[in-house]
Amino acid sequence: QGEAKSIEEILKEKGVITVEEYQEAVTQKPDVAYVPGKGFTAATADGKYKLHIGGYAQLLYKYTDVDSNAADDKSDFNIRRFKLQIAGNVVSKDFGYKFQGDMKNGFTTEDAFINYKFAAPLTVQVGQFKPAQARQELTSAAKQLFPERSLANDTFNLGRDLGVQAAGSFAGKIVEYRLGLFNGNGPNTANPDDRHMVTGRLDLNPLGAYAMDEAGWTSDKPLLNIGGSFAWNKIGGGDVGSGFSKDNDVMDVALNLDDAATAAAFTANYGSDLTWLLWTANVNAAWMGATLAGEYYALNADPSLGSDWDADGYYVQAGYQVIPQTLELAARYSAVESTDTQASAKFDKAETQFGVNYYFAKHAAKVQADYTLVSDDWNADKDDNIVRLQAQFYY
Residues within window 310-369 making contact with a second copy, judged by CB under 8 A: 360-361, 364-365
Q: Within 234-253, which residues bind a second copy (CB under 8 A)? A: 238
Give CA–CA dist 321/392, Å, rounded: 18
CB 150 within 8 Å of CB 158: no
The least CB distance from residue 17 to a second copy, in Å, is 6
Nearest to 125 by CA among 175, 173, 177: 177
Give CA–CA dist 245/259, Å, rounded: 8
Report how many residues bind a second copy under the rule CB under 8 A: 92
- Closer CB to a second copy, 32 or 120, in the complex: 32
Residues 6 or more apart whose CB falls under 8 angstroms from that of 136 comprise 144, 149, 150, 153, 214, 282, 293, 295, 315
- List the one residue from 183, 245, 280, 372 that touches a second copy (CB under 8 A): 183
- List the one residue from 19, 69, 70, 194 that touches a second copy (CB under 8 A): 194
- List the one residue from 196, 246, 332, 346 that touches a second copy (CB under 8 A): 196
- Closer CB to a second copy, 79 or 323, in the complex: 79
Q: How far is CA 307 from the centre of its chain?
A: 32
- List the one residue from 174, 175, 188, 373 that touches a second copy (CB under 8 A): 188
- Closer CB to a second copy, 117 or 346, in the complex: 117
The least CB distance from residue 59 to a second copy, in Å, is 5
Q: Within 160-179, which residues bind a second copy (CB under 8 A)? A: 162-164
DSSP count for the chain of H helices, then E strands = 6, 19
The least CB distance from residue 11 to a second copy, in Å, is 7
Q: What is the dihedral sign for C-alpha 132, 187, 148, 297?
A: positive
Residues 6 or more apart whose CB falls under 8 angstroms from that of 23 comprise none
Give CA–CA dist 214/289, Å, rounded: 11
- Closer CB to a second copy, 62 or 346, in the complex: 62
The least CB distance from residue 134 to a second copy, in Å, is 22
- Closer CB to a second copy, 74 or 206, in the complex: 74
Give CA–CA dist 247/82, Å, rounded: 19
- Closer CB to a second copy, 17 or 224, in the complex: 17
The least CB distance from residue 365 to a second copy, in Å, is 5
With CB under 8 A as the contact rule, which of the stretches 22-30, 247-255, 307-315, 331-339 interacts with a second copy?
22-30
Would you call 152 helix, strand, or coil by DSSP?
helix
Q: Within 32-91, which residues bind a second copy (CB under 8 A)? A: 32-34, 36, 39-40, 42-45, 48-51, 53-54, 57, 59, 61, 63, 72-79, 82, 86, 88, 90-91
With CB under 8 A as the contact rule, which of the stretches 10-18, 131-139, 149-157, 169-177 interacts with a second copy?
10-18
- Closer CB to a second copy, 110 or 213, in the complex: 110
Q: How far is CA 26 from the centre of its chain?
A: 38
The least CB distance from residue 293 to a second copy, in Å, is 28
Task: For residue 210, give Cα distances in angstroms to 115, 138, 216, 286, 302.
Answer: 22, 13, 12, 9, 35
Widest CA span in the chain? 84
In the shown chain, the binding pattern of residues 108 to 147 toward a second copy, with x for contact by CB under 8 A and - for none, equals xx--xxx-----------xxx-------------------
Q: Within 259-298, which residues bind a second copy (CB under 8 A)? A: none
Phi and psi at residue 283, to the nearest 5°: -130, 125
Task: Verify binding: residue 19, a second copy, rule CB under 8 A.
Answer: no
Phi and psi at residue 381, to the nearest 5°: -95, 20
The least CB distance from residue 90 to a second copy, in Å, is 5
Q: At what angle do helices 7-14 and 19-28 cross, to 10 degrees?
A: 170
The least CB distance from residue 72 to a second copy, in Å, is 4
